[in-house]
Amino acid sequence: MADTPASTSGDFPPFRQRHLISIADLKQHEIIDLLDRAERMVPVSRQERKSLPTLSGKTQINLFFEPSTRTQSSFEIAGKRLGALVVNMSVKTSSVSKGETLVDTAATLNAMRPDVLVVRHGAAGAVELLSQKVGCSVINAGDGAHEHPTQALLDALTIRRHKGRISGLTVAICGDIANSRVARSNLLLLGALHVRTRVIAPRNLLPPGIEHLATEVFTDMEEGLKGVDVVMMLRLQHERASGKMIPSVREYYRFYGLDAEKLAFANPDAIVMHPGPMNRGVEIDPAIADGSRSVITDQVEMGVAVRMAVLDALLSGDQA
């Protein structure tokens, strides 16, 4: 322990998972463990010298098949604050189009002996497939419409810090549920922590069987927001959706955009969240997005803490 005096992981029992692919793989106590670890990471980012040497000598590769400035920077900063060597590989032109399969890419990267791969991919299950072909830890930074586990963890941490608890709350997730990995990870995580979950969306943006994943399903925003403690808005891929999944942005905003009038149905102290990047005027009124109820910038801050905690937990567990 003399080498790592500032480690926070030493206070926690070893984390038993090798990868973080899906919230569904985590037991309730593991979710709480990760949140508690993340809580300890928050002050690290707030102090003047924002570093812990716990991952010194470790190599982290961020492999993003889909561009994402925000998530990639968050993982990069998290790794660097823990002292890891962080390499970013943005696969802008898909390497599949150059004839290299995901499995080939995995084999190539594996030969460089990284300690952790942080992977985002457009196809559900791609990160899991990659994890089967490498010898290091793999963190899912979003795979298609499947999962985005660190987003759900940072959302939970944000909720817990604002509300003082998670269990017993009512959380509404609103918007394009059908295509959202954020919604799936959140429903799984909140469900595991005994939160009442509601999904609110037009029927065509609700995936089949959603009633088995959420406590309640609403198609009316005002009905659905009644008495909720947390309002989570989802990004609408409006470039793709317009004319196909919804007739127009203005109609969507009228019925499903979060404005003061609709927010008034939620509890008076309800907080507003958004995983970003936001479409102001599409799914959310700019005045709400930047208003006093919004905790959206806190989510970004908690994102770094959660990712530090996940990296630390996976890699120090690996050591043990």
Partner 1 sequence: MTKPLLIENARIVDPASGTDQRGAVLIENGRIADLALGGPVGVPDDAEVINANGLVLAPGLIDMRVFTGEPGWEYRETLASAGEAAAAGGVTSFVMMPDTMPAVDDGAVVDFLVRRAKATSKVNVLPAAGITKGLAGKDLTEFGLMREAGAVCLSDGRNSIQSTALLRTAMSYAANFDMTIFHHTVDNSLAGEGVMNDGLFATVLGLKGIAREAETIPLSRDLQLAALTGVRYHAAQISTEGSVDIVKAAKSRNPRITAGVSINNLCLNENDIGRYRTYFKLGTPLRSEDDRRAVIEGLRSGVIDTIHSDHDPQDSEVKRQPFAEASTGAIGLETLLAAALRLVHSDDVPLLTVLKAMTSRPAEILGLEAGRIAKGAPADLILVDLDYPWQVNENELRSRSRNTSFEGARLAGKVMRTIVGGETVFLHRD
Binding residues vs partner 1 (CB under 8 A): 24, 96, 101-103, 121, 123-126, 128-129, 143-147, 181, 184, 207-210, 212-213
Contact 200, 173 (CB under 8 A): yes
Distances (CA, A) of 7 to 19, 279, 311: 20, 39, 12
Residue 284 sits at φ, ψ, to 5 deg, of -150, 140
Amino acid making up residue 238: H
Closest CA to 154 of 313, 311, 304, 312: 304
Alpha carbon 241 to chain centroid distance?
22
Q: How far is the CB of 14 from partner 1 (least distance, A)?
A: 25
**Residues contributing to the annotated binding site for carbamoyl phosphate:** 70-71, 120, 148, 151, 276-277
Contact 17, 285 (CB under 8 A): no
Nearer to partner 1, 32 or 123 (CB): 123
Alpha carbon 304 to chain centroid distance?
11
Q: Bridge partners of 294?
A: 272
**Residues contributing to the annotated binding site for L-aspartate:** 98, 181, 235
Helices 28-46 & 181-192, crossing angle to 10 degrees? 110
Nearer to partner 1, 52 or 188 (CB): 188
Nearer to partner 1, 101 or 319 (CB): 101
Q: How far is the CB of 52 from partner 1 (least distance, A)?
A: 34
Amino acid making up residue 182: V
Nearer to partner 1, 132 or 248 (CB): 132
Nearer to partner 1, 128 or 312 (CB): 128
Q: How far is the CB of 66 from partner 1 (least distance, A)?
A: 12
Q: How far is the CB of 122 from partner 1 (least distance, A)?
A: 8
Q: How far is the CB of 308 from partner 1 (least distance, A)?
A: 26
**Residues contributing to the annotated binding site:** 70-71, 98, 120, 148, 151, 181, 235, 276-277
Q: How far apart are CA 301 and CA 69, in angstroms?
A: 15
At residue 188, the 3 state secondary structure works out as: helix
Q: How far is the CB of 174 from partner 1 (least distance, A)?
A: 17
Nearer to partner 1, 147 or 301 (CB): 147
Q: How far apart are CA 224 and CA 119, in angstroms?
A: 34
Residue entry with tokens 């208003």: 291
